[in-house]
C-alpha cells in the first residue's frame, strides 16, 4: 500500500485532559484509513499516554512520534508573579527524534510539574537550552511566542524569538508551524511566519492542532471545554476554538489547504522520517537491595527462607509428623529455584525488608493478600502469615515459571502506619527513586450525562432523571444502557433535548476526565525515576509517575502496592485496649482457629464490624450456613460475589446433609471434600487439571487463566491434552468430558483461594476479638469510623443490642477518641463540635498532671482557658461532658460564665503575687461561686443538644420511646434499605435531620429529606404534592413514619415517599393481617417447610397471606385461609425474616 505524503505532527489526544477528545483506537483507525506512515501525539505539558500510544501505533502498523506541547514561561519557570505570568505562557511543540530526545523530554515534562508548575506545568528557555538534544522544536499555534508577537505586529520580537529557538534546537531542528483553521489572525501569522522562514532559512511545517477526530465532533469538543472551565454553552465568555477546523484532516484536505506552500507538507514526511525512537519493553529494572555481608541476593534469600522455615517448624509440626518436614523443605527448595531462575530474589528481599520494618515498629501488617499467600518462601521470610501447604495453596498460581512476569505482592498495612512505610522506602532507596502512581478517572455513562447536562444548561432535575435511568452496572456504556432500559429509549425517542444530551454524551463517553493518585501503588526505581519515566505532581501535591500502573510495568519498573486497611487499625487498637485495661497480651496470629464462641457469634449473624462478614446478605448466609471451621469462612468469602452466589444454596445444603455429595471420579474427592463437592476456587481447577489431566502445576495455572478468561480457541487446544492425560490415568472419556465441562463452568466463577484464605484470617481475628472482648473491639471499631456519621450511628446501635453502653464525653474519663471505661465505651472529646485538638490536649494534660477534676471551678482553674474558651465550654456542657461534676446541664450552662470570669480573675491575682501568703485552699474558698438554682432541660432538649454537639443521640433516642412497637409498623431501616430491590415498597421511621428544598421546572417545591433512625440515615425524595401536605411534619422534630418505594437509580438507594405521618399516629391503628413477601428466585422448598412450622407455632386470630414475587415484576398473592390464622408479634417477623431475608414480613 502506498503511504500518504502528509503526516499529522500536532495532535491532542484524550490525555490533554478535558481539552483533547481523540481516543487512541479511533486515531489509529483514521490514520490507517488515510494511509499515514506515522503520526505524532503532542498533549499539553504531559506524556501521560506515551506507552499506550506507542504500543497501539505499532499494533496498527504506524510509526509513533512521541511529542508534547510544552508551556514555556515568559521569564523563569520559577517566576510566580501573576502580573507577568498569568495567561502569558507560550506554547511550543517538541518531537522526539531518538533515545536522547526521549530522555530529555521526560526531564522537561517532569521539571514543568516539579519546578515550574503555576496553573500549568511550565519550562523555560534555560531548561530548553540544556535539554534540547534529540528533539525537534515547532513554533506551535497562535499561543506560540513567535505567533503572539506577529499578532501584535511586533515583527522584530518575532524574528528574535525565532532565532533564539533555532539556536536552542540547532539548525534543521526547528520549524515554523503554519495552519489553515479559518481564524482571521492565523492568516496574518502565516504570512509573517513564511516571511521569517525565507529570511532566516527556518523551514515551515503544516499542522492542524487536532483536538478532535472528525469535523462533526466540534460541538462535542466545545461541550468538553465547558466541562473543563465550568461554563455552559449559553455563556458568551466561554472558552472555544472559534472554528470547526481542529479535526484530523485527510492528507488531501491538508495538501489542498497548503497548495501555496507544498514545502510545508513535504516537511511533515521528512520530520517523521527523522523521528526514530524505540522504547524497550524487554527489561525489568529492580531497585538494588543492599546486602552488606557480600553474599548474592540468591544466597541471602535462601538463607533467610531456610532460617525462617526452621523457626516456623514447631508450629507446623504441632499436628503433623516427621514426613511433613521433608514436604516443606522440598517445597521451599523448589520455590527458591524458580525465584532464582526468574531473577526475582531481589524483589522478595525488598518486600520482606519493608514488611519486617513495619512489624518491628509496631505497624500491623495483614496476613497476606492475593496469590502471594500461596508462596512458602513468602511465609518463611515473614511477608505472609499463611501456611500454603496447610491450606492447599499453590506457588504457581502466584509465580508461574512457564510465563515470566513480575511477581505482584500486595501488602495491607494499618491505615495509620502506611505513610510511615512509604517514608521508610523513600529514605532507604532515595526520594528521587520512589513515587506514587498516577491513575485516571473516566467519563463513565452516568457521570458523562451529568457533565454534559450541566454544560448544555439543562436543569438538574431533568438531568438527574435521565442519569437515574442508566442501570447501576459496572462499566456499562450508554449504548448498552439504552438497549437495557426501555424508559431511556422512550425518552430519547420523544424528547429532542434528551436526544441531544445522549448524543453529546456518547461522543465524550469514556474519555479521561482527571488524574489522581493510585490508592496503593508505589514505584521504586533502580536509578532516579526521571531517567526511566516522566513524573509530575498530583492535585494533592504528591510526586507521582506520569505513567499509569500497567504502563510502568510495560517499561520494566517495579510497583509495590502499599494498601491501608482500616481493619488492621481496629485490631491494633483492640489489642491495646485489652492490654491497658485487662493486662492481657494476645498474639493475634496465634489464636485458636476452632474457638467455639467465635463461631457461635457468626452463626447468630452478630457480625457487625467483622471484616468482610457484616453486610446484610452475609449475615443471612452465616445464619443459614452455620460455619464451624475456618474452611467454611474461606469458602464464604470466595462465594459471596456476583456469579458464584448462585452456588451458595447447594453449598449450604450439602454442608448440612440435606443434599448428597457425589464425585464424578475418585480423584476429585480429596480436592473437593472441603467445599462439599462444589468447585469454589481457582486452585481446585488447577488441582483437577493435575489429578485428572496430568498437568504440571505451571501448565494447570495456564489452563486456569484460559478458562477464566473464556478464550474458546485456546480452550479447544487444551481440551485434547486434558482428555489424553485422563486416558493415561485410566479415566474413561465420558467421565473426563463431564469433568472438563464442570471445570469450564466453574473456572469462570472460581475465586483465588490464596486471597480468600488470607482475608478469612482477618475475618476470624475480628470475630474472635468481638466474641471475647466485645467492649474493647467496639471501642476500636467506633474510633476507626469516627469520620463516618452513618457508621457511628449503626455501631452505637449494635453496642446497645450487645448490652454495651456508649457514654457521652466526660472531662474526667474521655481521651481524644473512643475509649473503654469499665464495661462501657466512652465518647472521645475530639468528637465534640467546636472542640479542637488544642483544647482536648489541654484538658488531658491538666488531668494527667494532677488528679481528676473535682468541680467545674477546679476544671476552669487548671486548664488553659485560652485554648478551652467559652465556645468550647458551652459545647462540652451541652453534650454532657461535665455530668460527673454537675448533673444539671442547664444549671451549668446558665452559670458557667461567672465561674470562668472568677477563675480568670484568680489566675491574674496569682500571677501578680497578691495571695502568695495564703494557702491554696484559702484562695479556692475565696473564689468559690454558686451556680443558679434552675430545673434541668426537658429530655427532648437534652437529646437535641447532644445531637447538635456530637451529631448523634447518646443518652437516648427519640425512637426508643416506642420500644418493640416500632417493629410492628416498619419493615425496613437505613441499614436494610441498602439491600432492597428497586421499586420495592418500604416503610421506615425516623427523625428528620436535614431538608434540602429544590424548585422544580414548574416552579413548585420538592425536597430531599434525610431521615435518621438508630441504624443510620436514609434519603427520602418528597415530591411537590406530598411536600405541600407534609410540610409542617418535615420541618418538625417529631418522629415520622414514611411509606414509599425504593429508588435504586444511584449508588445509594433512596425512598420516593408516598405518605408521611407522625409515628405516634401510625401506632394507634391496629393491624389485621400478616403478609410474607417471598422472592421465588431465592426461596427453596425447605424454606417453605420452615415457614409452615412458624405458622403452626404462632397461631392466632389474624389472616395471613403469602406474596410470591418473581423478578420483582409479577406478584401472586395466596391466602392462608381461616384455618391458618396467625399471631401478630415481633417474634414471627424475626423468624420469617431470618429465613427469607430482612423485610419479608409486613403487618397491615
CATH code for the domain in which residue 945 is found: 1.10.150
pLDDT digits (tens, 9 = 90+) for 646-689: 888 889 999 988 899 988 888 899 999 999 998 899 999 999 99
Q: How many angstroms separate the CA atoms of 188 and 787, rounded?
A: 59
Hey, how many other C-beta atoms are within 10 angstroms of the C-beta on 1121? Answer: 9
pLDDT digits (tens, 9 = 90+) for 1054-1085: 999 999 999 988 887 667 788 888 888 778 77
**Phi, psi for 1083 (deg, rounded to 5):** -75, 140
Question: Quick check: is 281 in a domain?
Answer: no
Query: For residues 921, 925, 931 and 932, what is the CA-based torsion angle, rounded to 10 degrees?
Result: 170
* Burial status of residue 299 (CB atoms within 10 A of its CB: 0-12, 13-18, 19 or more): middle
Q: With bands split at pLDDT 50, 70 and 90, how would you rate the model's confidence at 84?
A: low
Count structural domains, the chain.
Answer: 7
Does one domain contain both 1105 and 1126? Answer: yes
Does one domain contain both 500 and 607? Answer: no
Does one domain contain both 531 and 499? Answer: no
At a CB cut-off of 8 Å and minimum separation 6, what does 728 contact? 694
Does one domain contain both 405 and 421? Answer: yes
Beta strands 410-414 and 558-565, pairing class = parallel
pLDDT digits (tens, 9 = 90+) for 914-927: 554 444 444 444 44
Q: How many angstroms separate the CA atoms of 174 and 197, rounded?
A: 11
User: What does the pLDDT read at residue 914?
Assistant: 57
User: What does the pLDDT read at residue 923?
Assistant: 42
Question: Quick check: is 235 in a domain?
Answer: no
CA angle centred on 512, ends 510 and 514, rounded to 5°: 140
User: What does the pLDDT read at residue 500?
Assistant: 94
User: What does the pLDDT read at residue 922?
Assistant: 44
pLDDT digits (tens, 9 = 90+) for 771-788: 999 999 999 999 999 888
E strand or H helix that includes residue 518: strand 512-524
Largest pairwise CA distance in the chain: 107
Closest CA to 608 of 1132, 981, 1014: 1014
Does one domain contain both 687 and 728? Answer: yes
Window from 81-85, 396-400, 694-698, 713-717 with minimum mean pLDDT: 81-85
Domain C-terminal end among 1027, 1045, 1069? 1069
Sign of CA dihedral 371, 374, 377, 381: positive
User: What does the pLDDT read at residue 469?
Assistant: 87
Residue 1089 has pLDDT above 90, yes or no: no
User: What does the pLDDT read at residue 1015?
Assistant: 83
pLDDT digits (tens, 9 = 90+) for 1105-1127: 998 888 766 788 888 888 888 88
Residue 788, CA atoms < 13 Å, CB-side half-sphere: 14
Residue 23 has pLDDT above 50, yes or no: yes
Question: Which three cell numbers, joined as nine digits, stand for 877?
Answer: 456542657
Question: Quick check: is 229 in a domain?
Answer: no
DSSP for 1079-1123 reads ETTT--HHHHHHHHHHHHHTEEEEEEEEEEEETTTEEEEEE--GG
Residue 552 has pLDDT above 70, yes or no: yes
Domain C-terminal end among 567, 589, 606? 567
Which spans in 825-932 are helix H?
Answer: 837-849, 856-862, 870-879, 889-911, 920-927
Residue 971 has pLDDT above 90, yes or no: no
Question: Quick check: is 225 in a domain?
Answer: no
Does one domain contain both 536 and 583? Answer: no
Domain span at residue 1088 reads 1070-1148
User: What does the pLDDT read at residue 473?
Assistant: 82
* Burial status of residue 816 (CB atoms within 10 A of its CB: 0-12, 13-18, 19 or more): middle
Question: Quick check: is 291 in a domain?
Answer: no
Question: Quick check: is 773 in a domain?
Answer: no
Does one domain contain both 667 and 690? Answer: yes
CATH code at 1015? 2.40.50.140
Q: How many angstroms separate the CA atoms of 6 and 270, rounded?
A: 9
Closest CA to 1007 of 987, 985, 992: 992
Q: How many angstroms separate the CA atoms of 157 and 1059, rounded?
A: 74
Share of the chain above pLDDT 90, in %: 65
Does one domain contain both 409 and 549? Answer: yes
Residue predicted with more confidence, 324 or 308 = 308
User: What does the pLDDT read at residue 88?
Assistant: 78
Residue 25 has pLDDT above 70, yes or no: yes
pLDDT digits (tens, 9 = 90+) for 113-155: 999 999 899 999 999 999 999 999 999 999 999 999 999 999 9
User: What does the pLDDT read at residue 585?
Assistant: 95
Question: Quick check: is 1081 in a domain?
Answer: yes
Q: How many angstroms separate the CA atoms of 194 and 200, rounded?
A: 10
The model carries a pTM of: 0.84
Domain C-terminal end among 1027, 1052, 1069? 1069
Does one domain contain both 859 and 961? Answer: no
Does one domain contain both 1015 and 1092? Answer: no
> What residues pair up with 1095 in beta bridges, in sequence order?
none
- End-to-end alpha-carbon separation of the chain, Å? 77
Chain-centroid distance, C-alpha 621: 26
Question: Quick check: is 234 in a domain?
Answer: no
Does one domain contain both 924 and 963? Answer: no
Specify the length of the chain in residues. Answer: 1148
Chain-centroid distance, C-alpha 1103: 48
Between the alpha carbon of residue 753 and those of residues 346, 386, 397, 683, the distances in Å are 26, 12, 10, 6
Q: With bands split at pLDDT 50, 70 and 90, how would you rate the model's confidence at 465?
A: confident
Q: How many angstroms separate the CA atoms of 260 and 385, rounded?
A: 74
Does one domain contain both 608 and 717? Answer: yes
Q: What is the mean pLDDT of residues 57-68?
A: 97
CATH code at 456? 1.10.10.1600
Q: What mean pLDDT value characterizes the chain?
A: 90
Residue 703 has pLDDT above 50, yes or no: yes
Amino acid at each position: 500500500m502506498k503511504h500518504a505524503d502528509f503526516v499529522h505532527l500536532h495532535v491532542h489526544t484524550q490525555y490533554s485532559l478535558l481539552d483533547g477528545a481523540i481516543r487512541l483506537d479511533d486515531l489509529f483507525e483514521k490514520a490507517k484509513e488515510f494511509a499515514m506512515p506515522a503520526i505524532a501525539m503532542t498533549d499539553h505539558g504531559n506524556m501521560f499516554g506515551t506507552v499506550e500510544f506507542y504500543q497501539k501505533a505499532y499494533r496498527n502498523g504506524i510509526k509513533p512520534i512521541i511529542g508534547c506541547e510544552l508551556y514555556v514561561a515568559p521569564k523563569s519557570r520559577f517566576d510566580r508573579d501573576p502580573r507577568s505570568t498569568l495567561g502569558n505562557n507560550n506554547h511550543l511543540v517538541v518531537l522526539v527524534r531518538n533515545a536522547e530526545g526521549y530522555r530529555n523530554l521526560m526531564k522537561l515534562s517532569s521539571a514543568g510539574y516539579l519546578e515550574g508548575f503555576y496553573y500549568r506545568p511550565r519550562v523555560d528557555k534555560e531548561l530548553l537550552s540544556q535539554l534540547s538534544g534529540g528533539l525537534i522544536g515547532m513554533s506551535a499555534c497562535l499561543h506560540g511566542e513567535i505567533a503572539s508577537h506577529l499578532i501584535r505586529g511586533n515583527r522584530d520580537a518575532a524574528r528574535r524569538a525565532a532565532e533564539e529557538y533555532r539556536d536552542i534546537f540547532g539548525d534543521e531542528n526547528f520549524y515554523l508551524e503554519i495552519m489553515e483553521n479559518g481564524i482571521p489572525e492565523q492568516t496574518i501569522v502565516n504570512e509573517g511566519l513564511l516571511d521569517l522562514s525565507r529570511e532566516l532559512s527556518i523551514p515551515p511545517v503544516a499542522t492542524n492542532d487536532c483536538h478532535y477526530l472528525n469535523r462533526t465532533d466540534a460541538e462535542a469538543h466545545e461541550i468538553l471545554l465547558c466541562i473543563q472551565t465550568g461554563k455552559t454553552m449559553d455563556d458568551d465568555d466561554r472558552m472555544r476554538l472559534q472554528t470547526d477546523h481542529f479535526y484530523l484532516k485527510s492528507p488531501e484536505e491538508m495538501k489542498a489547504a497548503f497548495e501555496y506552500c507544498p514545502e510545508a507538507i513535504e516537511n511533515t514526511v521528512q520530520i517523521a522520517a527523522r523521528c526514530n525512537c524505540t522504547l524497550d519493553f524487554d527489561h525489568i529494572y529492580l531497585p538494588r537491595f543492599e546486602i552488606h555481608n557480600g553474599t548474592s541476593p540468591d544466597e541471602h534469600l535462601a538463607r533467610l527462607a531456610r532460617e525462617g522455615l526452621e523457626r516456623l517448624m514447631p508450629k507446623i509440626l504441632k499436628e503433623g509428623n516427621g514426613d511433613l518436614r521433608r514436604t516443606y523443605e522440598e517445597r521451599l527448595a523448589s520455590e527458591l529455584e524458580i525465584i532464582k531462575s526468574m531473577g526475582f530474589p531481589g524483589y522478595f528481599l525488598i518486600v520482606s525488608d519493608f514488611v519486617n520494618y513495619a512489624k518491628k515498629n509496631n505497624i500491623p501488617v495483614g496476613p497476606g493478600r492475593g496469590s502471594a499467600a500461596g508462596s512458602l518462601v513468602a511465609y518463611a521470610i515473614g511477608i505472609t502469615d499463611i501456611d500454603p501447604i496447610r491450606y492447599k495453596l499453590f506457588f504457581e498460581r502466584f509465580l508461574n515459571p512457564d510465563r515470566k512476569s513480575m511477581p505482584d505482592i500486595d501488602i495491607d498495612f494499618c491505615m495509620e502506619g502506611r505513610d510511615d512505610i512509604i517514608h521508610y522506602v523513600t529514605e532507604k532507596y532515595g526520594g528521587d527513586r520512589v513515587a506514587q502512581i498516577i491513575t485516571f478517572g473516566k467519563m463513565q455513562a452516568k457521570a458523562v450525562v451529568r457533565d454534559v447536562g450541566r454544560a448544555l444548561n439543562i436543569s438538574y432535575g431533568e438531568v438527574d432523571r435521565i442519569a437515574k435511568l442508566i442501570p447501576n452496572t459496572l462499566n456499562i456504556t450508554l449504548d448498552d444502557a439504552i438497549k437495557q432500559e426501555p424508559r431511556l429509549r422512550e425518552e430519547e425517542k420523544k424528547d429532542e433535548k434528551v436526544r441531544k444530551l445522549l448524543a453529546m454524551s456518547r461522543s465524550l463517553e469514556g474519555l479521561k476526565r482527571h488524574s489522581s493518585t493510585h490508592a496503593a501503588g508505589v514505584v521504586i526505581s533502580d536509578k532516579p525515576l526521571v531517567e526511566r519515566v516522566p513524573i509530575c505532581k498530583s492535585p494533592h501535591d504528591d510526586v507521582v509517575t506520569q505513567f499509569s500502573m500497567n504502563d510502568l510495568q510495560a517499561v520494566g519498573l517495579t510497583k509495590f502496592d502499599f494498601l491501608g486497611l482500616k481493619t488492621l487499625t481496629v485490631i491494633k487498637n483492640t489489642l491495646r485496649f485489652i492490654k491497658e485495661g485487662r493486662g492481657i497480651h494476645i498474639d493475634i496470629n496465634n489464636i485458636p482457629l476452632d474457638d467455639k464462641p467465635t463461631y457461635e457469634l457468626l452463626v447468630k449473624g452478630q457480625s457487625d464490624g467483622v471484616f468482610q462478614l457484616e453486610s446484610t446478605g452475609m449475615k443471612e448466609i452465616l445464619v443459614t450456613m452455620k460455619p464451624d471451621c475456618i474452611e467454611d469462612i474461606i469458602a464464604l468469602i470466595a462465594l459471596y460475589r456476583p456469579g458464584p452466589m448462585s452456588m451458595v444454596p447447594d453449598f449450604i445444603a450439602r454442608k448440612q446433609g440435606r443434599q448428597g455429595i457425589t464425585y464424578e471420579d475418585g480423584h476429585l474427592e480429596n480436592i473437593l471434600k472441603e467445599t462439599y463437592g462444589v468447585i469454589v476456587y481457582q486452585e481446585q481447577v488447577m488441582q483437577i487439571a493435575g489429578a485428572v489431566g496430568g498437568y504440571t502445576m505451571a501448565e494447570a495455572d495456564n489452563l486456569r487463566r484460559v478458562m477464566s478468561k473464556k478464550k474458546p480457541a485456546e480452550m479447544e487446544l487444551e481440551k485434547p491434552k486434558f482428555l489424553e492425560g485422563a486416558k493415561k490415568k485410566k479415566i474413561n472419556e465420558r467421565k473426563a468430558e463431564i469433568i472438563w465441562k464442570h471445570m469450564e463452568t466453574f473456572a469462570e466463577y472460581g475465586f483465588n483461594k490464596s486471597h480468600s484464605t488470607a482475608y478469612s484470617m482477618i475475618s476470624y481475628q475480628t470475630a474472635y476479638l468481638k466474641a471475647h472482648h466485645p467492649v474493647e473491639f467496639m471501642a476500636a471499631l467506633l474510633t476507626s469510623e469516627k469520620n463516618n456519621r452513618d457508621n457511628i450511628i449503626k455501631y452505637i446501635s449494635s453496642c446497645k443490642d450487645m448490652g454495651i453502653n456508649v457514654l457521652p464525653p466526660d472531662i474526667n474519663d474521655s481521651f481524644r477518641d473512643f475509649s473503654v471505661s469499665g464495661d462501657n465505651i466512652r465518647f472521645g472529646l475530639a468528637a465534640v463540635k467546636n472542640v479542637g485538638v488544642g483544647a482536648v490536649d489541654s484538658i488531658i494534660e491538666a488531668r494527667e498532671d494532677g488528679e481528676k477534676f473535682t468541680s467545674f471551678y477546679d476544671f476552669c482553674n487548671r486548664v488553659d482557658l485560652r485554648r478551652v474558651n467559652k465556645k468550647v465550654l458551652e459545647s462540652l456542657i451541652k453534650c454532657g461532658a461535665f455530668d460527673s461534676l454537675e448533673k444539671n446541664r442547664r444549671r451549668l450552662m446558665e452559670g458557667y460564665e461567672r465561674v470562668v470570669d472568677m477563675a480568670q480573675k484568680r489566675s491574674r491575682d496569682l500571677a501578680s503575687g497578691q495571695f502568695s501568703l495564703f494557702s491554696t485552699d484559702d484562695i479556692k474558698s475565696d473564689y468559690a461561686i454558686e451556680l443558679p438554682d434552675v430545673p434541668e432541660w426537658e429530655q427532648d432538649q437534652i437529646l437535641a443538644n447532644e445531637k447538635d454537639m456530637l451529631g448523634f443521640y447518646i443518652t437516648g433516642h427519640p425512637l426508643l420511646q416506642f420500644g418493640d412497637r416500632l417493629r410492628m409498623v416498619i419493615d425496613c431501616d437505613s441499614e436494610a434499605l441498602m439491600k432492597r430491590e428497586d421499586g420495592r415498597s418500604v416503610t421506615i421511621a425516623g427523625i428528620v435531620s436535614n431538608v434540602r428544598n429544590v424548585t422544580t421546572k414548574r416552579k413548585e417545591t420538592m425536597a430531599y429529606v434525610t431521615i435518621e433512625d438508630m441504624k443510620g440515615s436514609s434519603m427520602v425524595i418528597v415530591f411537590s404534592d406530598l411536600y405541600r401536605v407534609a410540610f409542617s411534619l418535615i420541618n418538625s422534630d417529631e418522629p415520622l413514619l414514611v411509606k414509599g418505594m425504593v429508588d435504586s437509580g444511584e449508588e445509594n438507594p433512596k425512598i420516593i415517599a408516598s405518605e408521611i405521618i407522625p409515628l405516634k399516629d401510625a401506632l394507634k391503628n391496629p393491624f389485621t393481617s400478616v403478609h410474607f413477601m417471598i422472592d421465588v428466585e431465592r426461596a427453596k422448598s425447605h424454606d417453605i417447610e420452615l415457614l409452615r412450622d412458624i405458622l403452626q407455632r404462632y397461631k392466632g386470630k389474624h389472616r395471613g397471606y403469602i406474596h410470591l414475587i418473581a423478578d420483582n415484576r409479577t406478584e401472586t398473592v395466596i391466602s392462608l385461609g381461616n384455618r391458618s390464622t396467625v399471631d401478630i408479634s415481633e417474634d414471627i417477623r424475626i423468624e420469617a425474616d431470618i429465613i427469607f431475608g430482612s423485610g419479608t414480613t409486613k403487618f397491615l
